Structure formats: C-alpha cells, structure tokens
Structure 1
Amino acid sequence: MMKRMIETILHENALVLAGIDKKETDELLNKIKEATRIFLYGEGRSGLIGKAFAMRLMHCGYNVYVIGETITPSIGKGDLLMGISASGTSPSLLHHFSKAEEVGAATFVVTASNEHGLLVGGTLVIPAATKRRRKDEPETVQPLGSQFDQSAHLLLDAIILALLEGRTENDELFKRHANIE
C-alpha cells in the first residue's frame, strides 16, 4: 500500500511540474541573479518551503533573508521580494509586495493561481491543487495544499540546480552549511 501511495504522489507531482512555464522559470532565475539581496515570504507551509529555499540560496552564496525573522533588514532598490503563496492573495503578502514596490524592490510570486490580482514584477504558476480545491485545479489524493507544497519544493530545488549549473562544487556549498548544530 505504501509503495502505491508514493508512486501516486510522484506521478501527481510529475504531472504538475510538466505544466510549468519555462519562460516564468527563466524570469525567476534572472531576477534572482540580478538581485542585490533576496527576501523570502510565505505563510504556513508555503513559508516553510520559502525558508528551505532561502537556506539553499544561502548555501549557494546569495545574500538572503526571510521576512519576519528578527535579523531581516529593510528592503530597498535592487533587492527582490519573492513570495510563495498558493492563493497569491493573502493580505500580508499583498501588504509586503506593496511596500517592496514602494521602495523600488523587484517582486515575484510563486503561486498556484494566475488570477491572484497582484501587480507584481513576475509570477511563476505551479498548476497544482490547493486547499481551496477550485474547479481549475488538478485532482489529487493528497489533503489540503500538499500537492502545491511538494511541487513548489521540487521546483525550487530545480531552480537551485539551474543557478548552480557549471559554477559550484558541493564542497563550496558545504563550507556555508551550518557547523554549529
């Protein structure tokens, strides 16, 4: 039974990731490469995915912060605020994006909906099921937003691989890995 469940989850995520728009991933890659500093924001499980991505970016040598942490500095021109939100419509996300744009920072959202209504600098749509189970979302055996969360995590790991392509060995990343654990 467990093997069947794992195969189902892998199959579902493969279908979701096959629907990712290459132009959107390329745009996110370029925004990350161009940013002076990167700020990540997400709530709940999307926030956990954002923290995992922030850690990987740090391992790659990027100057990255997580919104809400006590050591997060002010955002400014040349920076990138990246949000992860299945709906793309949470009031706090909208507030943070508005503030970032007000000070000249770039913005980008990773979301399950291309109808989020945000005036953002970029959007990467992950066509996955969310906790809302809207008509346009794919079928899934998984509860709540698990399909979105898993697909976002896998996609953002692929973004890391693309950022590293041809430039970094594992030893370089390991030097930035926590050594006080």
Structure 2
Amino acid sequence: MALPKYYAAQQCSLARSLEIVGERWTLLIVRDAFFGVRRFGDFLAHLGMSRAVLTERLEGLLETGVLAETPGSHGYREYVLTGKGVDLWPVVRDLLAWGNEHCSENGPRRVFRHVPDSGLLAPDGSCTACGRTVAPADLVVVPGPGYDDHADDFVSEALSEAHRLLEPLRTR
C-alpha cells in the first residue's frame, strides 16, 4: 500500500513543502534539472526509475509550478525550473553538502565552482575565493574527488565535463 502524499493533520510549512518535493525521486529530478537535464528520456536514463513514476513526479512538479514545460529541439518537450524551482537551490545544495559530509566515502562525486573566480562552493553557499553567496546560474559543476568515470548513461557522460548549472545539457 502506498503511503499518502499529503500531511493533512500537519499545519506547517515543512509539511506543505514535503507534499511537493518529499516523494521518492522528486529531489533527484530537481537536482538533475539544475544540472541542465531537460528531456524525459534523459531523466529516465540518468535516474533509472520507471516511466510511470517519472511521469507522475514531472506532472506533480508542473502542477505545483516548480517546473515548466517548453518546446525543445526536434519536437521534444523539455522541462525547465521556474523561479519557484530555482528557489529550491539552497535545499538541494544543503542536502548535497550534508551527503558529502556524512555519506560519501571518497569525497563528493561532483563539486561546484564559481564562474568568475573558480572558487569552490562552500557548504553554506558562499564562494571560497571571494566570499560571496553564489546563485546557481553562476556555478559550474565539475567532477569531484569521488567521481568515477564508469558512466553508464549519457547524462553522466555529459556531466564528466564542466557544465554550467541551469544551462541545457545536450546529451545526444
């Protein structure tokens, strides 16, 4: 039996937020959207989830205004983060930093660098070189010390090179 999606008895902002991004796979879809993944097939290949679950999660993110649909090249529909979706960056960044600190054996798989000065992104979202808080559009994701080059999908392969966040990741 599936767990309910709503926390009707909980009257707090965290419960309302979890109703949008708290289901399994949802934050990974959002993370990939920051990485520039836009096509259904690319999300599917990179995340390895079922088509039905991906369809359901994308529909939920569209309904809540986290993602928007846009026409893409070659007739593909593409999914892009809205302003509301980009506002999730501190949550995604903090969870990545927490995972790097507590769940990573070989260090982070990917790290973020500030475009103007190549400073690393600190866990608090500031640049280690200039000290400023960095917006996701001003970051490049690059392989980190925990990266393994055994990419088994084309999204991972594309992310083996430096890539600016929020820019479309062209995988094929």
**Fold conserved between structures, TM > 0.5:** no
Structure with the bigger percentage of helix: 1
What is the TM-score when the length of structure 1 is the normalising length?
0.26
Answer 1 or 2: higher relative contact order, Cα 8 Å, separation at least 6. 1
